[in-house]
Amino acid sequence: MSNGNYTNGKTRTCGVIGNPVEHTMSPAIHNGLATMFEHNLVYVPFHVEADLDKAVEGAYALNILGMNVTVPYKSDVMASLKEVDKLAAQIGAVNTLVRMEGGYKGYNTDMPGLYRAMKEDGVELENADVLILGAGGVARAVAVLAADKKAEKIRVLNRTIEKAEAIVEEVKEHYPKADIQAMAISDYEKLEGESWVAIQATSVGMYPKTEDVVISEEGFYKKVRVGYDLIFNPYETKFMKLLKAAGKEAYNGLKMLLYQGIIAYELWNECEVTKEQAAVIYEEMKKQMSA
């Protein structure tokens, strides 16, 4: 049974809750996978303006198999859950709800999605020197991921060093042995070596302000071996262009978006998505972006 346009009494429902959700690409991921696997499942967006707790309770009452959670609810939703996965608790954000007896269990598939994307690109976090630009919720999550995967060094660079220091303290609570330090972006010259894996974890450079960049100095990009911009609109950000101009590899966040969805789908349906299947969905996402 493909999901197609045909549903019946056995059709299961999944979806995404957030505000806004009108521009989400998640239906392309999940409905595409349901068609591939011939799962009797449909995935729809749910615009939730308020009453998040009631929305989660209602989803359970309606026998909804699983939910994704997007902004602004990734942290707030945790109070409405029956259980929270260890990594999600450490990150402090949940983006996937998996149905269990009496409620939902919360997972964070964003960071495992980034990790899976990086592995596919041949980029390892284990024993790597990782620098993170930014000190918001995404930067905090990346710092937890890097520590969890045993990065050699982690440096959190931000214009306001106090915010970066707060992330360092939080990560140290869970990973006391991690070599993690906060730095002001202006002090980038103090970074040792030229083999850093740089992860741009701010919204700077996102459409429509596509010419904005967190740091423009050429000297910074000489210290980087490979860079990820977690933005995917535009497809090539100014940060990525500067990396490429320095002769370095650069990737955007679209594959992270793909794999966070794939991992959620695998959790809901107890299946495994191959690289070949993922590649088909990825091409469909790229088409949607250019449409």
Residues 206 and 237: their CA atoms lie apart, in Å, by 7
> Sign of the CA dihedral 131, 236, 88, 260?
negative
Active site residue 209: no
Residues 67 and 30: their CA atoms lie apart, in Å, by 11
From the candidates 10, 54, 74, 190, which is the catalytic residue?
74
pLDDT at 83 over 70: yes
The Cβ of residue 153 has, within 10 Å, a number of other Cβ atoms equal to 18
Prediction pTM value: 0.94
What is the reported pLDDT for 274?
96
Residues 90 and 81: their CA atoms lie apart, in Å, by 15
Q: What are 150-206's pLDDT values in tens digits? A: 999 999 999 999 999 999 999 999 999 999 999 999 999 999 999 999 999 999 999
Residues 168 and 287: their CA atoms lie apart, in Å, by 39
pLDDT at 3 over 60: no
What is the reported pLDDT for 291?
73
pLDDT at 225 over 90: yes
Average pLDDT over residues 69-88: 97
* Alpha-helical segments (H) within 149-235: 161-174, 218-222
| Cβ pair 81, 231 in contact under 8 A | no
| Cβ pair 180, 143 in contact under 8 A | yes
Share of the chain above pLDDT 70, in %: 98
Element (H, E) at 267: helix 254-269
pLDDT at 2 over 60: no
pLDDT at 61 over 60: yes
| Domains, the chain, with CATH or none | 12-108+255-290 (3.40.50.10860), 112-251 (3.40.50.720)
| Cβ pair 107, 88 in contact under 8 A | yes
Q: CA dist 270 to 39, 52, 108, 266, Å?
A: 11, 27, 17, 5
The number of CA neighbours under 13 Å toward the Cβ of 188 is 23
What is the DSSP track for 42-67?
A: EEEEEE--S-HHHHHHHHHHTT--EE
Confidence of residue 1 (pLDDT cuts 50, 70, 90): very low
Average pLDDT over residues 49-61: 97
The pair of three-digit structure tokens given for residue 79, joined into one six-digit string: 């109070």
Q: What are 129-159's pLDDT values in tens digits? A: 999 999 999 999 999 999 999 999 999 999 9
Q: What are 230-284's pLDDT values in tens digits? A: 999 999 999 999 999 999 999 999 999 999 999 999 999 999 999 999 999 999 9
- Residue 181's DSSP bridge partners are 155
